[in-house]
Structures are given as structure tokens and as C-alpha cells.
Amino acid sequence: MSRSSAPRPTSASSATGRPIMSPWRFVVAFGVVSMLADAVYEGARSITGPFLGSLGAGAVLVGLVTGAGEAAGLLLRLITGPAADRTGRYWGWTIGGYALTVITVPALALPVGLVGACLLVIAERVGKATRSPAKDTLLSNAGTSMGRGAAFAVHEAMDQAGAFAGPLLVAVMIAWHGYGAAFGVLAVPGVAVLAVLAWLARRVPDPRVYEPAATPAADADPPASPPTGTKSGLRDLPAAFWRYAAFSAVTMAGFATFGLIGFHLVDRGLLKPATVPLVYALAMATDAVAALAVGRLFDRYGLRVLAALPVLAAAGTALAFTATLPAVLTGAALWGAAMGVQESTMRAEVADLVAPARRATAYGIFAASYGLAWLAGGALLGALYGHAPSALAPTVVAIQALALMTLWWVARANGRYQGPNSDTTA
């Protein structure tokens, strides 16, 4: 069957071929989904370290489990990203991943023991791996006309509104009735996540309509393999993408998980477990502000903006493991700002480097590369914290200095000193 050059109108588009829901409205609606989901899983993550500690885990196990969780949530995207591209069923992968997350988090309220809790912590990240490449691809479609830096920044800011509210809710519930009540109440926003997702998927069944060049024929089901002419090997991704992934991996190797930071706060007697989520909420607030600020700057100035990431990561991680509460709080805020840059602007650059038909695959590989680095870094920092705490800060600073040098190399090699709309694209 022949394919027309322009997509036929669907429930996502009018008779003129224009989407019924504007890109901005789509991004905001998707932001509501992420806001609710973040209230669930970020609320849980804010107390992962102290919770595992209450079950008998030590610093090394907390660092290993939280690092393994992040790695699982990133490495598995090597599978889910290409699968989303092959099937074209981006909504299916997105909804399935969110469903896994909103089921596993409330399950932590059950008496599953230390081993069960560790498995559920990792399983929640598997849900993240399942949905993220497809979700990021859908957002990149909508961001085509509005600026991808801005699209990912707005989404990340709304995402972090939930990440701010979730820990506050968890803190209240822990103070009222312990960990069980804190995890159990997170089932409520979890149900709302699935309801909003179902509505949005019906409203815009194929967000690729926002990026006409990437839209498949409307008279056929999504293809079982990449479109004709699309190469499927990993070597076919541009060299500029691989260089960029290398920079991300170096940065994340020197970036602590909040699980280890939360463990430090309780282990050193700086805070009670019930108040640790408040620190996480502070970090998520700075995450949202940083994402909004840097997203717009990225659309204008390009990779130069990302020099802030290693600086924030080094300062935040080093300060977060000091012995005084004001310094730790400052470190947590800077750690959150680094997360804001990493979770928003860095994803926007991937969309500018890779063609639409290979974008979910690229997102999977990109996340897997820094996930493996984060696993190694999480284990390293956990071991340093437990056995040589004085070496932790110098190690982090050295790794982030290497990351800055890597970024300089990437920017020169990729020709991305300017923003993605300039004449010096990769």
C-alpha cells in the first residue's frame, strides 16, 4: 500500500492536518502525568536509604542497591528503546512502564523484608526503563516547533513539582504512622497517573503528528521494523551522539545517589528519618528551577550551557557528605540543580543529534551508558563513604574535572558551541 507524503487526519489532528491539541498543551498534559508519577516514586526514593537502613542494610548495601536500581532503570533501555522504535507503539511502552512503577512503590508497605525491599526498589526503576525512551520520544515530537530545550525544561519543572510534593507527603505519613503508611498512601496518585495517561493517549494517539517528517502513514498499523531506509545497527547512530554519551557517562560516574545522601544524614545523626524527605523536597525544588532556566539557555547557546553540570555535581556531592547540616543542605540543593540539568537539557541534545526513527533507540543507549557509569560510581562512593570518607570529595572533584574536559572535546568535535537552531549543528 502506498504511503502519502502527509498524514491523514486522526483523532489527534483536524481536517487540515493540524493537531487538535497544541504542542504546549501536550507537553503540559504530559507534565501532569509526570508530576503525579514523581509524587509516587520520588516520595519513595526520598526515604530509600533510611528505610533500607531500618531493615538492617549498611552503607555499602545502600549504595549498591540504589546504584543498581539506577543502572537497571538505565541499562534496560538498551532493550526498551529499540523495541519502541521497532513496534512504533510508544504509548504502549509508556503506559506499561508507569503501571509497573505505581504498583511496586505501594508494595513497599507490605512486610517483604530486606531482600524483598531491595528487589522492589530495583523493580521501580525497571518501570522507569520501560517507559522512558518512548516517553522522551513523544516529548521530542511535541518539542519540534516550540524548542526542545524548552519542552523538556517545562516537563522537568512539572515533574519536579511532584517530586517536591511527594517527599512532603511521605514525611507527614512517617511522622504519623511510620514507613508502611508512607508507602501505602502513594497508591492514590498512582491511580491518577494511569487515569490521566489513558485520557491523553486517546486524545493524541500519535504525537508524531507534531513532527510531520517522522509521522508514519495513517492508513497502516505501526511498522514491525524500522521504516524503509532506516538503518538499525548501533554503528549507524552518528559519531556526535557517541561522543555526547561519553561525556554524560563521565559526569554520572562522580554523582552520588540521594539514597546514599539520605543514609549519611541519618547515620551521622544530622536528621531523623522522618525529616530526610524534606531535604529531598528541597533538592527537587532546585531541580525544577534549574531545568527551566537552563532549558531556554540551551536552545539559544547550545552545549556551552552544560558546563554547569559537572560544576554543580562536584560541589553538590562534595558538600552533601560534610559533617554540618547547613553544608549538607547546600550540597543537596546543588545536587538537585545538577539533576535538573541532567534530566532536561541533556535529553534535548539527544533529539537534536538523532533522526526521529532512531530516537527511542538513541535515548535507550544514552541512558544505559550513564546508567552503567552511575552503578560503578554509586558502588565506589558507597565504598569510600564506608571505608575512606576523606577520599570521597577529592574523588568526585577529580571525576567532574575530567567531565569538563570531555565536554570541551565533545563541543569542538560536534561543532555545537551554538544552540541547535544555529548554523553549527553536528
Write the pLDDT tens digit of every residue in 323-369.
999 999 999 999 999 988 887 777 788 888 888 788 888 988 888 88
Q: What is the average per-residue pLDDT within 205-229?
A: 54
How high is the pLDDT of residue 334? Answer: 95
| 218 compared with 244, residue with greater pLDDT | 244
How high is the pLDDT of residue 321? Answer: 92
Q: What is the average per-residue pLDDT within 56-62?
A: 82
How high is the pLDDT of residue 327? Answer: 94
pTM comes to 0.70
How high is the pLDDT of residue 234? Answer: 61
Q: What is the average per-residue pLDDT within 205-218?
A: 65
User: Looking at the predicted structure, is the pLDDT value of residue 414 above 60?
Assistant: yes
Q: Residue 9: which pLDDT band, with cuts at 50, 70 and 90?
A: very low
| pLDDT-wise least confident of 164-168, 299-303, 334-338 | 299-303
What proportion of the chain, given as a percentage, has pLDDT over 90?
A: 27
User: Looking at the predicted structure, is the pLDDT value of residue 230 above 50?
Assistant: no
Give me the chain's average pLDDT, please.
81
User: Looking at the predicted structure, is the pLDDT value of residue 405 above 90?
Assistant: yes
Q: Residue 8: which pLDDT band, with cuts at 50, 70 and 90?
A: very low
Query: What tens digit of pLDDT does each residue of 35-56 get?
Result: 999 899 888 888 888 888 888 8
User: Looking at the predicted structure, is the pLDDT value of residue 416 above 70?
Assistant: no
Asked if the 23-208+237-414 domain carries CATH number 1.20.1250.20, the reply is: yes
First to last CA, the chain: 35
User: Looking at the predicted structure, is the pLDDT value of residue 280 above 50?
Assistant: yes
User: Looking at the predicted structure, is the pLDDT value of residue 34 above 60?
Assistant: yes
HEC profile of the chain: CCCCCCCCCCCCECCCCCECCCHHHHHHHHHHHHHHHHHHHHHHHCCHHHHHHHCCCCHHHHHHHHHHHHHHHHHCHHHHHHHHHHHCCHHHHHHHHHHHHHHHCHHHHCCCHHHHHHHHHHHHHHHHHHHHHHHHHHHHHHCCCCCHHHHHHHHHHHHHHHHHHHHHHHHHHHHHHHHHHHHHCCHHHHHHHHHHHHHHHHHCCCHHHHCHHHCCCCCCCCCCCCCCCCCCCHHHCCHHHHHHHHHHHHHHHCCCCHHHHHHHHHHCCCCCHHHHHHHHHHHHHHHHHHHHHHHHHHHHHHHHHHHHHHHHHHHHHHHHCCCCHHHHHHHHHHHHHHHHHHHCHHHHHHHHHCCHHHHHHHHHHHHHHHHHHHHHHHHHHHHHHHHCHHHHHHHHHHHHHHHHHHHHHHHHHHCCCCCCCCCCCC
User: Looking at the predicted structure, is the pLDDT value of residue 192 above 90?
Assistant: yes
How high is the pLDDT of residue 359? Answer: 87
| 126 compared with 346, residue with greater pLDDT | 126
| 185 compared with 273, residue with greater pLDDT | 185
| 364 compared with 399, residue with greater pLDDT | 399
Q: Residue 229: which pLDDT band, with cuts at 50, 70 and 90?
A: very low
How high is the pLDDT of residue 217? Answer: 38
| 299 compared with 390, residue with greater pLDDT | 390
Q: What is the average per-residue pLDDT within 102-111?
A: 92
Query: What tens digit of pLDDT does each residue of 142-158 get?
Result: 877 777 777 888 888 88
How high is the pLDDT of residue 154? Answer: 83
How high is the pLDDT of residue 212? Answer: 66
